[in-house]
Structures are given as C-alpha cells and as structure tokens.
Structure 1
Amino acid sequence: MVEEKSWKEFQNSGLIWFINKTLHLFGWAIVLEISDGEIIRAYPARVKFRGFSEDVNTEGYITLSKYLEDNVNELSKEAQE
C-alpha cells in the first residue's frame, strides 16, 4: 500500500521532529519552508544542529505519543497484513 500524504500531516504527526532528531546525528535534516502557515517546500539539507532543546523535545514526544495513541489500531493491523 502506498498512500500519498501531505507534508503538513507528516509535520502534525510529530514524525518530522522524530526523523530530524535522528538525522541530526549525521548532520542532516529535512527542512520545511513555511509561508503564511503553509508548507511551500521541503528538502534535505546539511546542518550543524545536533538535537533540539528540551522544550522542543518535550513537545515532540507529546505530539508523537498522541499520533500513536490515535493510530495504534490501524498501525497494528497494517503490520500484521
């Protein structure tokens, strides 16, 4: 199954934070350019960042946990197919 999703949905799920947290280890990130609240461009980039602040991480964990809570049944079903 392949179902295209928007960058906004990916961002709202907390996954962009989670993926960038991992990519920072290698000096990379996925950059989302936002204009008037809309994502207008996304691209990979080399960065000097190595992680996020405690506040950003706390919000990221909350957002990602909520996404998992809301989607656990569907994710479990898909994993067993």
Structure 2
Amino acid sequence: MINKKSWNEFRDNGFLWWINMILHAFGWVIAVKIDDDGNIIDAYPARTNVRGFPEEDNTEGYIKLSKYMNDNAAEILKESQE
C-alpha cells in the first residue's frame, strides 16, 4: 500500500531534516523551494558543501521526530506486523 503524502507533511514531521542530515555526510541534500505561504513547491536532489545543521535546528528536528514517533507508534507497529 502506498499513501501519497505532501512534501510539507514530510518536512513538518522532521523527515526532511533527518534525511538531509544523513545525506550531508555524502555531500548531498534534498533541496526545496518554498513559496511565500511556506509551502514546498519544488524538491530536488543537489550537491552541497554543507555538513550538518545548527544546534537549534537539530533540537527542533529531534522534537518533531519524537512527536511523530509518539503519535504514530501503535500504527507503525501494527503495519509492521501485517
């Protein structure tokens, strides 16, 4: 089963930050273009010389991921057992 989600939801739950942290080790990133309303209107892989994020961004990212895990743990477990 695939349930298409938006780039905004992916970003809001901390997944874009998490994946980009991993990709930074290889000099890659998923870059996004954001409109004036804060919506992601384009996304693409890119090379970067950036390695890591500021502490404030990391703290925010870990909080978003923790909240997602807390809110969705039972469903994720159930899906993995099906």
Relative to the length of structure 1, the TM-score reads 0.96
Name the structure where helix makes up a greater proportion of residues.
1
Unaligned segments of structure 1, at least 5 residues: none
Unaligned segments of structure 2, at least 5 residues: none
Divergent runs of 4+, >6 A: none
2:29: which partner in 1? 29
The 2-side partners of 1:2 and 1:38 are apart by 22
Name the % identity. Answer: 58
For the aligned residues, what is the CA RMSD? 0.6
Letter aligned with residue 26 of structure 2: F
What secondary structure, in the 3-state scheme, does the structure 2 residue paired with 1:68 have? helix
Relative to the length of structure 2, the TM-score reads 0.95
